[in-house]
Structure 1
Amino acid sequence: MNRTAVIHQPDFLPYLGFFERLLHADVFVLLDQAQYVDSTSRSWTHRDKIKTPQGARWISLSIRSAPRDTPINQIELSDQVDWRRNNLNLLRENYRKAPFFDEIFPRLEQLYARTDRRLADFNRASIELLLELFDVRVEIVTASSLGVSGKNNDLLVDILGKVHADRYLSGVGARAYFRPEPFANAGIEVLWQEFQHPAYPQLHGDFIPYLSSIDLLLNCGTDQSRRILRNAE
């Protein structure tokens, strides 16, 4: 069958490696029922990094406070702070001199014009925008729509079965939590992403990797960014 799946939380304006993995996937499962994690080094669901004259800086969505175990798909965006305008102002301030600002920034304005109430919906829209700009075409499914159960590796195997995938392409960050037995028992081949972050022209001094993908797009434009992404394979 050779149907390859990627499973990942619906992160906000993700970095380049997120999309490099999707180049090799037939189906992308948004793990929207995972627990929302805030204020740790692994917190990418509501924020990512951009580049400023002072170096890398977080760009964040404002969310309503929620109990600790709340799943991502139940996290609501705040209506107490004008984070949409604040984010656009932050991007305009730091990228207005980028070579492709006029090409990319209007698409970001369209994204921020959305009226989503939930974090997962806004993040999915941000991912779909970047998929379009990078010309990466992949089927998207939400885990919450599959009726899956289990935790950790067992949950992943259940998801893979529901989307009829016999290959699972994982990011290397999951190696510490990986148990091969559930996958082997289900006849699922596990592949590990091999991503080398490419360097490209940036504003504001020396190159900084692992920023939001919008940094690449604003600096290099759609056509060149597509080539850079594919050369990172």
Structure 2
Amino acid sequence: MIIAIHQPNYIPWCGYFHKMLSCDLFVILDDVTFSKTAITNKNQIKSPDGSRLLSVPLSNKEGLIKDVTIFNDGKWPNKHWGSLQRNYARAPFWKQYQHLFAPIFENPDETLADFNLRLIDVIRTILEIKTPIIRSSEILGTTGLKGDKIISICKTLQAAVYLSGTGAKSYNDESEFARNQIRLVYQEFDPPCYPQLWGDFIPNLSVIDLLFNCGPKSKDFLPKQVIDL
């Protein structure tokens, strides 16, 4: 079995869903410490003036990701949804998909992880990704921190292959994966270039930029990585 693991990020980029498509089980890493410098609560969309950062305000930034709470003052969801409307209302597939996202912004969850996972579920449905998802907090018996935590999850779920992002090359202990008989494979993903609104192409935005611009053809820009077992 091929397993990939990732934190529950806010409206993630295309590579997040390419990784999800390319594995047999996708683990949402929600029982690790929330990092204030991570992008778990923020991402970028495109506007006429270039990229625009959307950041979900938090009332509690301490502890595990699953326990981080959103500052629900009633204002930020309208601001985020307003930004999406203003910048994508002219996109070819805004009308086709906007009704799937609107209820989530109209009724945001208390915790960031729950809110993000509702959005992730809508996105993967549009992309027709059938890969099962499980939260790491639901997996009993895992131990350790950082790399040890990843290996513990893989062993508990009896993974033959761990599909890792390339950013982890600097800290993955390849000898530990080998010692535990887990094959370490790195994601091979080139950010796609696709039709966009507002001038020159900007890569690595939230995947919703791809969805609103390309609709059902979006999945064609995320070819599955074939990994031999």
- Shorter-chain TM-score category? over 0.9
Contact 2:164–2:185 under 8 Å retained in 1: yes
| 1:63–1:24 CA distance, 2 compared to 1 (3 A) | same
Q: Paired residue for 1:63?
A: 58
User: Secondary structure of 2:3's match?
Assistant: strand
Give the aligned residue type for 1:157. I
Unpaired segments of 5 or more residues in structure 2? none
User: Secondary structure of 1:230's match?
Assistant: coil
Instruction: Report the TM-score when normalising by structure 1.
Output: 0.92
Tell me, yes or no, if structure 1 residue 133 matches structure 2 residue 121. Answer: no
Tell me, yes or no, if structure 1 residue 77 matches structure 2 residue 70. Answer: yes
The equivalent position to 1:166 in structure 2, one of 155, 160, 179, is 160
Q: Paired residue for 1:19?
A: 17
Tell me, yes or no, if structure 1 residue 122 matches structure 2 residue 115. Answer: yes
CA distance in 2, matches of 1:66, 1:133: 31
Q: Percent identity?
A: 34
Give the aligned residue type for 1:6. A
Give the aligned residue type for 1:150. G
CA distance in 1, matches of 2:224, 2:178: 31
Contact 1:100–1:217 under 8 Å retained in 2: yes
Larger mean Cα displacement after TM superposition, 204-213 or 154-163: 154-163
Q: CA deviation at 1:101?
A: 1.0
CA distance in 1, matches of 2:183, 2:153: 14
Q: Paired residue for 1:33?
A: 31
Q: How does 1:141-220 map to 2 (within 5 A)?
A: 141-147=134-140, 148-220=142-214
Q: Paired residue for 1:10?
A: 8
Instruction: Report the TM-score when normalising by structure 2.
Output: 0.94
Give the aligned residue type for 2:12. P
Measured against aligned partners, the alpha-carbon deviations of 1:94-120 in whole angstroms (never above 9, x if no partner) come to 111111110121111022234411101
The equivalent position to 2:39 in structure 1, one of 39, 44, 47, is 44
Measured against aligned partners, the alpha-carbon deviations of 1:12-37 in whole angstroms (never above 9, x if no partner) come to 11000111111111111111012111
CA distance in 1, matches of 2:125, 2:157: 23
Give the aligned residue type for 2:29. L
Task: Give aligned pairs, total.
Answer: 225
CA distance in 2, matches of 1:171, 1:195: 9
C-alpha root-mean-square deviation of aligned residues, in Å? 1.5
Tell me, yes or no, if structure 1 residue 109 matches structure 2 residue 102. Answer: yes
Q: CA deviation at 1:126?
A: 1.2
| 1:231–1:186 CA distance, 2 compared to 1 (3 A) | closer
CA distance in 1, matches of 2:157, 2:74: 38
